[in-house]
Structure 1
Amino acid sequence: MNYYKILTLLVLGAVMTFYGCKEDGKTNTNTPKQADPQPFKASNTTNNETSQSTASVYHYTCANGCEGGAAAAGNCATCGNPLAHNQAFHNNNNNTNNTQTDSPFLTPAAETSTNTSGVFHYICGQGCAGGAGAAGNCASCGNALTHNAAYHQ
């Protein structure tokens, strides 16, 4: 009889547990409706504006000789033919489009004035003591420092 009471309590507990976990089939109306994802619209960031140097030399010009040009490859605004690269744009020293894109981590390390053996890279030709890591004048006598080939050995 004692087992009968325990078994009844276990069955009753199981029924209550399963009944409490039963789904009604109703959807929860409190959750916000998820919006449909919109396609990504990438804007055209290519700048076809004319980037000129002070000498008015275009980076890309029309092969047919049409007036004008462009800063980027594309088609001629006059005749529609593809623009050709203009090497004269790079030969111009007044180019305002010179931007350095090197990473600061790519800069070479500065050379030390002496190597691991303590030999200076540049020494005085007059035999003064000391030296320097770069070409310049001697700190003692003022004469020009000369390259020391022993530094590289």
Structure 2
Amino acid sequence: MKYLNLIAILLFSSVILYGCKEEPKTIINENNQPQPIDFSNTQGQSNTDSAQNTAGVFHYTCSNGCAGGSASAGACANCGNTLAHNQAYHSNTNNTQSQSPFDTQPAAAETGQNAAGVWHYTCDSGCAGGSGTAGNCSNCGNTLAHNSAYHQ
């Protein structure tokens, strides 16, 4: 009986150790030389940066003030100097305000009286006046009651 427990533990340990055996995986590399990167093949990619924005301002201009410009920093076509970056190219020229579907104007504040001069909330005690919101009467301090005649 003593040996049965020992045999069971040894059997269990051998199964665990055999199952966890890790064999190194070999990587098959048929070509050991690095592949060169070809930057000339752009496959349909185009330069989306235009020389001028919608306002007609060049991205790069000549520091001497020559006419024209370019989309990239290079040499001026007129004098040969290096073109300088023109920050005005990035300025927001769209000054028009568009109507956004979420641009809602706040509701006009509702007055306490309707067009007929009837108060929305009135005092049950019969005090003069009323209010546009529920609250207490300014004369006697009682709670104002809703006046259904306001909505007619």
Provide the TM-score with structure 1 as the length reference: 0.36
| Structure having greater relative contact order (Cα 8 Å, sep ≥ 6) | 1
Structure number, greater radius of gyration: 2
